Structure 1
């Protein structure tokens, strides 16, 4: 009988795959020997494989280049990285090797932009698209950037008040974009996105606040839907409505020349993942050209803001199964040496699923299990895989350590989890490793952050000054005795 874990995978999926293969009976990820990584750094462990960031950027650029050539599309394509997916310096440094632009979401994002400019990583020609609801600090930081001569900083107007707030702080002329408040899917709790300005109000907004205003130049229409880019009727319907707004606006606004279709490309979350990126991009470009030709307007330059797609598939997390609890005749709980709530918060917050595979023991027999984290919270678990509606792992054996990996976890998990701060039940954040390849393709690794220590958490909680307080108390008592 085929009862080994490797048999289960072979029967369920095409394996090996581009990023996953077995070598010496253990799992490799992009050619990285994960058991050697564990031997060197231990577990739990988080890692970022930086070359995957550049790889995905170049893939997307290639797909757009092919679509532009096929349809004889006359506009330009600009790839923007959505920084909120991961603000880390090593991520931005890798992404910016690929001649890309940046989308920001908050005031402190602009401070990161200033650091990157000071280091020569970006220039005044780099597009800085500033999204989000803007209050005083964000407005001031955007204005500072534009006043310093960054002519390609384009704030995306989210509400009717922002334009006046920007105009008060910016010296001279500046460019803006306008975000469309798209309609949400019917299953949503609300009908229209809270972000942006409604479809029907875009042209009136331009005529009332921008047309005839010598200080402001409208350059971009911004379109994004919460569910991201998908090949379904909802997405294509919303894109068509967006293009109707674009062509209507273009006819009264000659300076408008760019369409930002946002982000939202899915990333691989299962060995059965199948998404035809090239087809989707080809059809988007085709639809834009068709509508513009029908309305007799020039095609726009196309911008995208890929966040998760850029960085998501570069990340991974590795845990060790510490113990198995048989809670009843059917449920076996494999307890990991970390917490899902703290290290992979999306699994708990929005029921997101990542690729989960054992690192070793692929040639052992398997069993159905649930995975539990170390916190005392009943929600700290991971109990299903999208492709099989269950978790199967090599059978627990206390004498044969089992390591498991979660892959493509590189977007949002650190920022949502509060990197460097308090963790639920004071479970320490694991060690974080950066992986890169040199010019000869040799793998290099370095520690980005050590596992949190008790002192780190106690300092945040205010207990770090305990020794100082004790010394002060002793000194005070001594002075009282002397007097």
Structure 2
């Protein structure tokens, strides 16, 4: 009878997989011996595997290159990184090794851009695409960047007054884009995105505020769907509507030469994950080609703004199962040595799923369990009620410690969780490692941050700490 955990995985999934393998009863991730890592640095522990960032960037570039060649597409492709997914310097440094561009969301993003530019990480010809609702500080920072000569800074107009605000702050001529306010899926609580300008209002807006403004050149139309790039009727319908706006706008605005299709590529959240990236890119290129040919207008250069896809699959977290609580005849709670609310906020805030696997004891028998965090908050858990599948782990044994890992958590968790600041119930943020490869392909490990200390939080709270 196959009752071992490894039997369960082998019977349920195609395993091992590209990033996961088993060696001597322990889990390896991208050839990282996770038990060895945990024994050396302790638990809880977070890590970022930097080479995965470059790998994913170059995968997308190759997919677009293939599709452009296959379809005879006459435009260029530009990969941009959505910085809000992870602003950390090591992440930006890794991403910028790959000749990419940047998308920003707020005023302080521009300060990061300027520092990276001073260090030569961002060049004069790097596109800096500025999204978001722009108030005084954001306008001021964008203007400062452009006034210093960064002509490839393109603010994306989100509301009707931004053109005049930018014109007042920017000394010379500048380029802009316009964001389309996409219509949401029927299941949403609202019909139209709060971001951007409605489909029907784009051309009138251009004619009233941009066409006769000698300082402003419209370069880009920006299109993004909140639910991401999915092979469903909703996405293709919205893309077609976007392309209709593009060709109408192109006919009255010769300077328009770029279409930004935003981000939204999904990342692997299960061992059963299946998504045909190459097909989706090929079909997007095909749809743009067809629309422009039918309207007899030149095809645009294509920009994307991948955030989660760039960094998500680089991140992981390790926890120890401290104790098991049998709360009734059916429910067993395995308690981790940290908090989901603190370290994996997407799991409880928006029910995001991640790959969860044990690090050790793969040859032991398994059981169905629930996972609980340390806080006294009822939402501090991760289980089958929040997620599609039940959780199975090797059976809890007090004398045989069990460690688990969550994978592909590299986007958003630190910023949403309040990295370096106050944490829910004052549960500290764990130690964080950076894992890289040297020129010979050997793994290198660097401590990025220690586990948060009590004095760090007490100082924020106004207590005097000696």
Q: Under a length normalisation based on structure 1, what TM-score does the superposition of the two structures give?
A: 0.96
Q: Distance in 2 between matches of 1:102 and 1:453?
A: 34
> 1:199 — aligned with what?
199
Residue 303 (structure 1) aligned with residue 275 (structure 2):
no
Q: Distance in 2 between matches of 1:124 and 1:164?
A: 25
> 2:367 — aligned with what?
367
1:124-273 alignment runs, 5 A limit: 124-273=124-273
Q: Distance in 2 between matches of 1:219 and 1:145?
A: 18
1:22-421 alignment runs, 5 A limit: 22-384=22-384, 389-421=389-421
Q: Distance in 2 between matches of 1:283 and 1:73?
A: 12
The structural deviation recorded for 1:441 is 0.7
Over the residues paired in the alignment, what is the CA RMSD in angstroms? Answer: 0.9
Q: Which deviations, in whole Å up to 9, do the C-alpha atoms of 1:343-382 show, x marking residues without a partner?
A: 0000010000100000000000000000000000011000
Task: List gaps (5 residues or longer) in structure 2.
Answer: none
The structural deviation recorded for 1:388 is 6.2
Q: Which deviations, in whole Å up to 9, do the C-alpha atoms of 1:256-302 show, x marking residues without a partner?
A: 00000000000000000000000000000000000000000000000
The structural deviation recorded for 1:463 is 1.2
Large movers: runs of 4+ above 4 Å: 385-388
Aligned pairs, how many? Answer: 466
8 Å CA contact retained: 1:353, 1:385: no
Q: Find the residue that maps to 2:221 and give its secondary structure.
A: strand
Q: Distance in 1 between matches of 2:464 and 2:265?
A: 44
Q: Distance in 2 between matches of 1:295 and 1:156?
A: 25
Deviates more, 1:378-387 or 1:141-150: 378-387
Q: Find the residue that maps to 1:263 and give its secondary structure.
A: coil
The structural deviation recorded for 1:384 is 2.1
Alpha-carbon spacing, 1:52–1:75, altered in 2? closer, same or farther (3 Å): same
Alpha-carbon spacing, 1:2–1:386, altered in 2? closer, same or farther (3 Å): farther
The structural deviation recorded for 1:385 is 8.6
Q: Under a length normalisation based on structure 2, what TM-score does the superposition of the two structures give?
A: 0.99
Q: Which deviations, in whole Å up to 9, do the C-alpha atoms of 1:291-321 show, x marking residues without a partner?
A: 0000000000000000000000000000000
Q: Distance in 2 between matches of 1:319 and 1:464?
A: 32
The structural deviation recorded for 1:464 is 2.6
Q: Distance in 2 between matches of 1:138 and 1:258?
A: 23
Q: Distance in 1 between matches of 2:231 and 2:388?
A: 23
Q: Find the residue that maps to 1:371 and give its secondary structure.
A: strand
> 1:475 — aligned with what?
none
The structural deviation recorded for 1:140 is 0.3
Q: Which deviations, in whole Å up to 9, do the C-alpha atoms of 1:36-77 show, x marking residues without a partner?
A: 100110110000000000000000000000000001111110
8 Å CA contact retained: 2:351, 2:387: no
> 1:479 — aligned with what?
none
Task: List gaps (5 residues or longer) in structure 1.
Answer: 468-483
The structural deviation recorded for 1:213 is 1.2
Q: Distance in 1 between matches of 2:256 and 2:80?
A: 19
Q: Distance in 1 between matches of 2:182 and 2:387?
A: 31
Deviates more, 1:380-389 or 1:363-372: 380-389
> 1:473 — aligned with what?
none
